[in-house]
């Protein structure tokens, strides 16, 4: 069974290569604006339809094997894999048109699939031979689906705009709170000055001692005045001075 599958894949790849070689080996004759004769156009149309049918009818393993045949094969396989699940099962190949774009020949083939139709473009470099270089699949979505996609895009844009506007409004609303905070900071009264520390006890003692010295001087002056009025032979001596606890007599003196 495995041998049969391998032989089938090999024959399939060989058929693809043969079709591509036939398409590239036909000589170009300047007949119309495309530079192709009627026979050449027919050969190109048949090649495009056959290639599309075989690519979309192959499994992944066969496609991987074919992708190693060259740059164009890799491009074609990538395009088929990217669109195969979306388009669905291949059904049939429709009309193929041939046109010229710059120095390239372009075939556009209408193709029917299970889910959507598609227009498949194959680009060829034009020289002594036609060499395929690019494979493009344009999915033809129904009008209802296009309108739905357009509506989704518009809705997404509106949502983005409203989200940005709401964010800007929120940021702007924060400015007035910042101003109130600054006013509160500037309106606060200055902190009260710290109370002065009480004078140290040695200072109080110094003030008391100076007061006592003044009182002692006043007493000495009073004694000297008494000696002048009533002199004494022995004289007067101040032995000691004692402070009364009440302090009133000192004040009177």
What is residue 84's predicted lDDT score, i.e. its pLDDT? 92
**Using CA atoms, how far apart are residues 218 and 35, in angstroms rounded to an integer?**
143
pLDDT per position as a tens digit, 57-95: 999 999 999 999 989 999 999 999 999 999 999 999 999
CA neighbor of 117 nearest in space, from 144, 96, 141? 141
What is residue 233's predicted lDDT score, i.e. its pLDDT? 60
What is residue 250's predicted lDDT score, i.e. its pLDDT? 47
What is residue 26's predicted lDDT score, i.e. its pLDDT? 40
203 in helix, strand or coil?
A: helix
User: In the chain, which residues have pLDDT < 70?
Assistant: 1-33, 179-209, 227, 229-253
Residue-range domains of the chain with CATH: 2-141 (3.10.450), 201-252 (no CATH)
247 in helix, strand or coil?
A: coil
pLDDT per position as a tens digit, 141-165: 878 777 777 888 888 988 999 899 9
Residue 14: strand pairing partners: none
**Residue with token string 């270089």:** 133
In this structure, the dihedral spanned by the alpha carbons of residues 81, 12, 124 and 141, taken in order and rounded to 10 degrees, is -40
**Residue with token string 């088929």:** 80
């Amino acid at each position: 069974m495995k041998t049969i599958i391998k032989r089938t894949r090999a024959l399939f790849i060989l058929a693809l290569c043969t079709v591509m070689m036939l398409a590239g080996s036909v000589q170009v004759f300047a007949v119309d604006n495309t530079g192709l004769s009627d026979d050449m156009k027919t050969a190109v149309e048949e090649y495009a339809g056959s290639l599309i049918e075989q690519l979309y009818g192959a499994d992944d393993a066969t496609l991987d094997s074919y992708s190693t045949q060259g740059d164009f094969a890799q491009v074609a396989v990538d395009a088929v894999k990217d669109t195969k699940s979306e388009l669905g099962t291949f059904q049939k190949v429709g009309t193929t048109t041939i046109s010229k774009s710059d120095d390239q020949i372009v075939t556009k083939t209408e193709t029917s699939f299970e889910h959507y139709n598609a227009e498949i473009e194959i680009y060829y470099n034009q020289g002594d031979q036609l060499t395929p270089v690019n494979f493009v699949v344009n999915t033809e979505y129904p009008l209802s689906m296009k309108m739905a996609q357009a509506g989704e895009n518009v809705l997404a844009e509106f949502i983005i705009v409203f989200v940005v506007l709401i964010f800007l409004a929120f940021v702007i609303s924060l400015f007035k709170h910042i101003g109130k905070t600054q006013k509160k900071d500037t309106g606060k009264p200055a902190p009260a000055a710290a109370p002065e520390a009480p004078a140290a006890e040695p200072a109080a003692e110094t003030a008391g001692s100076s007061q006592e010295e003044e009182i002692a001087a006043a007493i000495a002056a009073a004694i000297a005045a008494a000696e002048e009025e009533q002199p004494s032979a022995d004289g007067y001596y101040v032995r000691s001075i004692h402070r009364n606890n009440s302090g009133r007599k000192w004040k009177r003196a």
